[in-house]
A and B are shown apart, each in its own frame.
Chain A
Amino acid sequence: MSNYSRRNFLKTGGALLAASSLPISMVEMAFGKDSEQNFTFAYISDSHITQIKGNEFVRNWDRGLIRAVAEANLLDPRPDFVFYGGDIAQLGKPEEIDHGLEILGALRGDVHYVMGEHDYYVDLGEYWQKQLGPDHYSFNHKGVHFVVLNSILTHEEWMHRKWDSGMDRMKQMARLDNPDGQPFMVGDKQRSWLKADLDKVSKDTPVVVFSHSPLQKIYKGWNFWTDDAEQVQALLKPFDKVTVLYGHVHQIQTNQIGNISFHAAMATAWPWPYPSTYTQQTSYLPRLTVDMNRADPFFERDATGWQFINLHSGNVDVHYTLPDNEARVVAFDEKLGHPVDTKYQAVADRTSPQKHY
């Protein structure tokens, strides 16, 4: 890892109130000699804003997002932009999307959005796209090529079946452990778009891809999975440095497949158990993953959080920001050629709360 500490980016979470009254200039930037290449962005995901009735929403999920926004606003130096990783809403209702966007509206700086299945399946993304624009796009920023994909599509026949209502379809998709679940996919159309998009990019340009579902196969039963993951990976293979950042899994996950580094985002709403804790089925958690601590049910924000990301020389370091808990840093190790947890990678260094069963 490089020459800065978390302190330089975030006025520590433990002293939030005090920090917010600090003059911003008190925190110095501490970039090293490559500073012109480095930049950061914040990454917030999975708020699952839930409407109860009228303008009443589930307090717990509101609080998670409000807190992440407040903390991200304290980042100093300012991140270049913010990414939102999907699942703004629980059931994709316009009221939920609007309420989420209202909270996110307090963020300082530009926000880019990724489509989640909880935003999509009630109206096949219509309201989300009306508010936020296309569900797949790319842009360049300081020498890095960013790509956003809608990875939560599924079989056309299923999506366009004769449903009683869009909400019926949403409820099928919204249930994570649905035994009749449908697999996520990027689909042929978007993959040809991606191919054409990447053809224009030189192979030594660092590429960062955002999707909602993991573009790798972890556990199909909970859709920690994208059906055409290998085909997407094949399109990314020619590049020197690729990072895939995804939401959906509500937990820290880390992987390296060939040239591609994978990092998952925590949710602001609630954490999920690791699939291995469901003992009736087999799952494949990437070996590099260092589990986050088991959540304390008596502290509703435990094991939720958000992350900020430092892109140094085209690789990604992810700083996981957990309320009332030690932050975790998973940084790319140049020598090993994959990301490592800077503190807990060695099995012997892990703590009791990191043991899930």
Chain B
Amino acid sequence: MDSRTMRYVAAGVIFLASGQMLVPAQADEFDQADLDRWQQEYMSVVEQGEKLFHGGLGNRNTVSCDQCHPNGANTHPETYPKFQQQIGRVVVLGEMINWCIMNPLEGAALALDDSSMVALQAYIHQERRGRELAPGKH
């Protein structure tokens, strides 16, 4: 449970227990400390992704993502989901990451919710932040 849900529940409990007409704390309330913590959580996953992207995947042939995508360039996360003609259907970013893991890296595909997959995506998106969404763009 994240701290936002906790607060919501806590507010409800107080309300019920006291049996009085309290003005409930705003359900969605969070402060700067929360924001800082969430950002920190996110950035630590970005950092983990950066390491994986730069040789941390442990694939036997030692090839790494950054060799072809410095700073995550040419990964175009803002264009997903999109039709990949060679796969023959609309795919999500993670499927294309797996394609590169299995081919140039000669490694084993990751589950789409694997923490390494999440981290790789966090890094790729972070390097591409600010770009307008362009789903489907080739």
Which residues does A use to contact B, with CB under 8 Å? 48, 50, 52, 58-60, 175-177, 221-222, 270-273, 275, 277-280, 294-298, 300, 356-357
Q: A176-B66, A280-B130, A294-B74 given. 10 additional CB < 8 A pairs?
A: A50-B62, A50-B63, A58-B61, A270-B68, A272-B70, A277-B74, A278-B71, A278-B72, A295-B74, A357-B76
* CB atoms of A280 and B68 under 8 A apart: no
* CB atoms of B131 and A279 under 8 A apart: yes
Known A273-B73, A277-B74; contact A297-B103, beta-carbon cutoff 8 A: yes
* CB atoms of B61 and A297 under 8 A apart: no
Q: How far is the CB of B51 from chain A (nearest CB, A)?
A: 12
* CB atoms of A58 and B62 under 8 A apart: yes
In the bound complex, CA of A48 to CA of B104 (Å): 14
The answer, among A60, A273, A278, for a CB contact under 8 Å with B104, is: A60
Q: How far is the CB of B127 from chain A (nearest CB, A)?
A: 7
User: When A and B form their complex, what is the total count of cross-chain residue pairs whose Cβ atoms lie within 8 Å?
Assistant: 60
Q: How far is the CB of B65 from chain A (nearest CB, A)?
A: 11
* CB atoms of A280 and B71 under 8 A apart: yes
Which residues of chain B from 100 to 136 have any CB-CB distance to chain A below 8 Å in the complex? 100, 103-104, 127-131
* CB atoms of B62 and A221 under 8 A apart: no
Q: How far is the CB of B132 from chain A (nearest CB, A)?
A: 11
Contacts of A272 in B (CB 8 A): 68, 70
Q: How far is the CB of A221 from chain B (nearest CB, A)?
A: 7
Contacts of B70 in A (CB 8 A): 176-177, 222, 272-273, 278
* CB atoms of B71 and A52 under 8 A apart: no
Nearest opposing residue in chain B for A298, CB measure: B86
In the bound complex, CA of A280 to CA of B71 (Å): 9
Q: How far is the CB of A351 from chain B (nearest CB, A)?
A: 13
Nearest opposing residue in chain B for A281, CB measure: B71
Q: How far is the CB of A271 from chain B (nearest CB, A)?
A: 8
The verdict on B82 contacting chain A, using a C-beta distance below 8 Å, is no
Nearest opposing residue in chain B for A270, CB measure: B68
Contacts of B131 in A (CB 8 A): 279
The verdict on B4 contacting chain A, using a C-beta distance below 8 Å, is no
Q: 27 interchain pairs (CB within 8 A)?
A: A48-B67, A50-B61, A50-B62, A50-B63, A52-B62, A58-B61, A176-B67, A177-B70, A221-B71, A270-B67, A270-B104, A272-B68, A275-B73, A277-B73, A277-B74, A278-B70, A279-B128, A279-B130, A279-B131, A280-B71, A280-B127, A280-B129, A297-B99, A297-B100, A298-B86, A300-B103, A356-B74
In the bound complex, CA of A60 to CA of B103 (Å): 10
Contacts of B129 in A (CB 8 A): 280
Contacts of A273 in B (CB 8 A): 69-70, 73-74
Nearest opposing residue in chain B for A50, CB measure: B62
Contacts of A279 in B (CB 8 A): 128, 130-131
Most buried by A among B62, B71, B100, B127: B71
The verdict on B89 contacting chain A, using a C-beta distance below 8 Å, is no
Nearest opposing residue in chain A for B137, CB measure: A357
Most buried by A among B67, B100, B103, B130: B67
Contacts of B99 in A (CB 8 A): 297
In the bound complex, CA of A221 to CA of B70 (Å): 10
Nearest opposing residue in chain A for B128, CB measure: A279
* CB atoms of A177 and B68 under 8 A apart: no
* CB atoms of B63 and A58 under 8 A apart: yes
Q: Mark B43-74, 1 if CB is under 8 A from A, else 0.
A: 00000000000100000111100111111111
Nearest opposing residue in chain B for A219, CB measure: B70
A-B pairs, 9 with minimum CB distance: A177-B70, A273-B73, A273-B74, A298-B86, A176-B70, A278-B73, A177-B71, A278-B71, A277-B73
In the bound complex, CA of A296 to CA of B70 (Å): 17
Nearest opposing residue in chain A for B76, CB measure: A357
Known A270-B67, A279-B131; contact A300-B62, beta-carbon cutoff 8 A: no
Q: How far is the CB of A242 from chain B (nearest CB, A)?
A: 30
Q: How far is the CB of B66 from chain A (nearest CB, A)?
A: 6
Q: How far is the CB of A143 from chain B (nearest CB, A)?
A: 40
Q: How far is the CB of B26 from chain A (nearest CB, A)?
A: 36
In the bound complex, CA of A297 to CA of B100 (Å): 8
Contacts of A277 in B (CB 8 A): 73-74
Q: How far is the CB of B80 from chain A (nearest CB, A)?
A: 14
Q: How far is the CB of A201 from chain B (nearest CB, A)?
A: 38
* CB atoms of A177 and B74 under 8 A apart: no
Nearest opposing residue in chain B for A222, CB measure: B70
The answer, among B61, B63, B66, B76, for a CB contact under 8 Å with A175, is: B66
In the bound complex, CA of A275 to CA of B70 (Å): 9
In the bound complex, CA of A356 to CA of B138 (Å): 10
